[in-house]
Copies of this chain bind each other. A is one copy, B any other.
Amino acid sequence: MSVQVENPRPSAVAAVIGLGSMGFGMAQSMKRAGLDVVGYDITKATVDRFVADGGRGAATLKETVQDADIVVSVVVTGAQTEAVLFGSDGIATAMKPGAVFVSSATMDPAIARSLAERLEPLGLHYLDAPISGGTARAAKGELTIMASGSRQAFAAARPALDAMAAKVYELGDAAGIGAAFKMINQLLAGVHIAAACEAISFAAKQGLDLQKVYEVITASAGNSWMFENRIPHVLAGDYTPLSAIEIFVKDLGIVQDMARSERYPVPLVAAALQMYLAASGAGMGRDDDSSLARLYAQLSGVELPGMNKEPQQA
């Protein structure tokens, strides 16, 4: 029998920048795993909520990271990530020597490479670590992380990765590779949501029993992870945003820009992106991405449950 002794080593300090629907859960998961977590958000009320939940808050970006061994950035875009690191209140010059910056935003791989190249000469590590899995899995510490970076970046980030993720893919030794994997996933996810919505509203147009369509398709070769996951929102007429239309306006936009600059044709992405843009233009940008089904229905005179509900406020 072994005797358990308390680990005398102080726990690592992790800073979380961005306490939105993903970042809040990721911060909670790290606290639960025993890390000393400091949270920051541009919305002060969100920081207060994190403190009320037992976390440590900070008032500025630099204060957030000054003692951190690990900085987890949970902003949305590459441009926001760049501002966090190198903007006027940027943290690149405030982070502890040897600390690691874990970047979870979905971005063009070229931007991820460029940020790492600027950060590493300062004696800091950069882990390109886009996340997948949604709010519920973020809160449970069961995300999937598609990560790439130096051995040192992985080693420094390990306690945070273990706390946040059920599965960490180690995809290569340089920033950009994780981002590229994430873009491939987003390409497919975005096209599949659009295809699912094109199909379910077309089924409604044929007068088919949509519950039966769901049952048959999810057991057939036409199934996708997104069809299975999103079509229940349509059948329930519930467009409460779990992931919003604007996410795919952004992500398919990145894919299209990458592909254009690489002279690679993406006709399916292009067609899907136009539908996300149309949904956003019609006022559904902040609604659930399954709102494309409503758009198809509105365009073609078919009835879906809840299709005329008011969009979320911007």
Give chain A's interface residues, CB within 8 Å of chain B.
109, 132-133, 144, 146, 167, 169, 171-172, 177, 180-181, 183-189, 191-192, 194-196, 198-199, 201-203, 205-206, 208-209, 212-213, 216-217, 219-227, 229, 255, 259, 262-272, 274-275, 296, 299-302
Contact = CB atoms under 8 A, between A and B. Distances in A.
Interface residues of A: mostly helix, strand, loop or mixed? helix
Copies of the chain in the assembly: 2
B185 A221 contact: yes
A105 B153 CA distance: 56
A188 B181 contact: no
Given A199-B187, A202-B264, A271-B271, A225 B226 contact: no
Contact of A184 (B144, B177, B208): B208
Nearest to A194: B268
B198 A180 contact: no
Contacts of A264: 201-202, 205, 296, 299-300, 302
Contacts of A203: 180, 184
A164 to B, nearest CB: 16
A167 B194 CA distance: 28
Contacts of A189: 221-222
Contacts of A169: 212, 216
Contact of A167 (B171, B219, B223): B219
B275 A267 contact: yes
Given A146-B216, A268-B268, A222 B187 contact: yes
Contact of A263 (B227, B262, B300): B300
A250 to B, nearest CB: 16
Contacts of A202: 184, 187, 255, 259, 264, 266
A184 B205 contact: no
Given A189-B222, A267-B275, 4 more contacts: A177-B208, A187-B198, A191-B195, A223-B225
A221 B216 contact: no
A129 B223 CA distance: 20
Given A202-B259, A206-B109, A222-B192, A185 B265 contact: no
A243 B192 CA distance: 21
B227 A188 contact: yes
